[in-house]
Structure formats: structure tokens, C-alpha cells
Amino acid sequence: MKTLMIYGASGYTGQMATEYAKKLGLNVIAAGRNTAKLAKLALDLDIPYRVFSLEDTAVVDKALSDVTAILNCAGPYYRTAEPLMRASIRTGTHYLDIAAELDSYLLAEKLDNEATTAGILLLPGSGGSVAMLGCLAGYAAETVSKPRKVSIALHVSGSMSRGSAISANENMTSVVLQRLNGQLVPQNPDNIQHFDFGKGFVPCFPVTLPDLITIWRSTQIPDIETFVYVSGNAFPKGDLTALPDGPSIEERDANRYHAAVNIIDDRGFITHAVLDTVNGYTFTPIAAIEAALRILMLETKNYSGFHTPAALFGHDFVTTIADTNIFLNHSG
């Protein structure tokens, strides 16, 4: 039977992903570094678990030796993505994660040929904003004959989980990037742009998002800019280790996520689309497990190497997750 391992299964998002995988009837193994939490989760869900860290390659390879696919939910991903991606290549295991850090995607690009030779998939960003923005951009771009530029923004609402806050803080960079003529180059950090997420235009600040890589790979549109609009306590300050595991169900229900995209064609005409979905912490585990399920069902020999959710599953993938809709507003 094909098996999915979830590494970081006892974390905030990892636990939700593990519970959803069990609900769908997948053959799932909980894994990570915290013995006590993993043992309790495994007992509650009646599933096996494995405890291992990522320093010893022989230990990691042994843990993955009988696994079909691994979903990495253990951030910060600059610490976990490389050892698990490389182990996946060595053991013939498909790799997925939920990273929002650019380095994971640069690494996947670097390992693309090795993964293709090994016959395995690398799918960073299988859930979360990468799936949201990639599908939104692809959906809108399909309606444009000669798209030239993508300007896309994510509306992050509500509070962050402790793990996400720590990971974001450790990966903060002073360099803001954009893609220009197909190349990653610096972006003016003061280039504020206004996007309408459905309730009027709001100012969004430029940020370096992994969608600079994933949207490029799935659409080949040469110019891409990425922005964020923050409401609520999305980027907390102070002692991040003192934060709760993550937002409550009530908090998630009260704070939906949105994204907006402008596609500019070769004549300068703009097509605008908006995505409306559930809170990111609700969306991410569902989307990641749905992606894992599809990979377990694929004849994957034809799909090896580095992929994006939008390219691998189609631009309608996002609308199959929870209560998600895309609206094409206007062109002109």
C-alpha cells in the first residue's frame, strides 16, 4: 500500500494535516522530533509514528525507505527542506512541503535534474499561499492572449502560528526581489501598489515571495511582482516563543484570506481577478493532503522533477479546496 509520511506531524499545521489524512483513509505515518507529542497523536489517531532528526543521512534514509511520499510540515524550512529533499531523491520518495520561503524553491530548482533522474516529484508549496497565488495567476493568464506582466498580492488576515512567526522572523531579508525579463532582480521596497480584494483598494507593500519562481515556472510570464496586505496581528512582535500554537477555530473562521492579481498584456490592457478562500491555516493542511493524495494516485513516472501545484494539477486545483472561489472582475 502507498504510504504518506508527515514530518512535523505534531506541529500546529502538521497535526491538522495528519488528522485530515487519516480522515481520508490514507496510510499515514506521523514523524518528527518530539517523541511525547508524536506518541500522543499516533495513539489518538491509531496510526504509526517515527521519531528522527535530520542530521544523520543514514537515519533519515532508513526512515523514508518504505515511504511513497513525504509531506514536510516542519519549519523553518531552510533547516529541513534540504535534508529531506536530498533524502527523497536518494530513497525514491516524492517530496511535498508547505514552505513559504524562497530558498526552498531555489533548492528545488537546483535539484530538478536529480529528482527527474530519480523519478520523484519535488512539490514545495503544495498547500498555502503558493497554491492560492499560482492557481489565481494561471486562471487569469489563461484569459489573456499575450500576457506580459503579473502583479499579484496576498491579503493575510488574523494571527500567525508560533512556528510560522518564528520561521518568518528567521527568514526576513532586506532585499525585495521581482522578476524582470525572466530574471530575479531587486525591487524598490517603497513601490507600494493598491489592490482591490473585493472591498475597495488598499495599499500593499512589495515582498519577496516564492511565487516569483512558481508563477514563472507555470506561466513563463517574464515580469512578476509580489505584494502583501496585512490586517490583524499577522506579524506579531515581542517574544515569539510565547505565542500560542496557532489561531483558534473561531479566529480562523473570522479571518478569510484573499488574493488579487493584475495581468497586463502586450498592449497594456489589464485583466483583474480575485481569489476568496478560508483562512490560510484552514486551507493549507487540506490543500497539502489533497495534493499528496493526487500524487499517490498519479502514474508519477511522467511527472518527475520540480513542479508547482498549479502546473501539476491545473489552475482549478485551488477551487476544489474548502470554500474557495475565483472571480474574474474586468479587463480593460
CATH homologous superfamily of 4-127+284-311: NAD(P)-binding Rossmann-like Domain (3.40.50.720)
Q: Is the pLDDT of residue 240 over 60?
A: no
What CATH code would you report for 129-279+316-331? 3.30.360.10
User: CA-CA distance, 126 to 110, in Å (whole number)?
Assistant: 18
288 or 164: which carries more pLDDT confidence? 288
- For the stretch 60-114, pLDDT in tens is 999 999 999 999 999 899 999 999 999 999 999 999 999 998 999 999 999 999 9
- Delimit the domains of the chain by residue range: 4-127+284-311, 129-279+316-331
User: CA-CA distance, 130 to 300, in Å (whole number)?
Assistant: 21
CA distances from 187 to 7, 129, 176, 325 (A): 35, 21, 5, 30
Its pTM stands at: 0.93
- For the stretch 12-66, pLDDT in tens is 999 999 999 999 999 999 999 999 999 999 999 999 999 999 999 999 999 999 9
pLDDT computed for residue 19 by the predictor: 98
- DSSP at 198: S
pLDDT computed for residue 160 by the predictor: 67
The pLDDT-based confidence of 231 (bands split at 50, 70, 90) is confident
User: CA-CA distance, 237 to 234, in Å (whole number)?
Assistant: 10
Cβ neighbors of 83 (< 8 A, separation 6 or more) are 54, 55, 57, 60
Q: How far is CA 170 from the centre of its chain?
A: 18
Report residue 301 as a C-alpha cell.
513516472
Percentage of residues in the chain having pLDDT higher than 90: 82
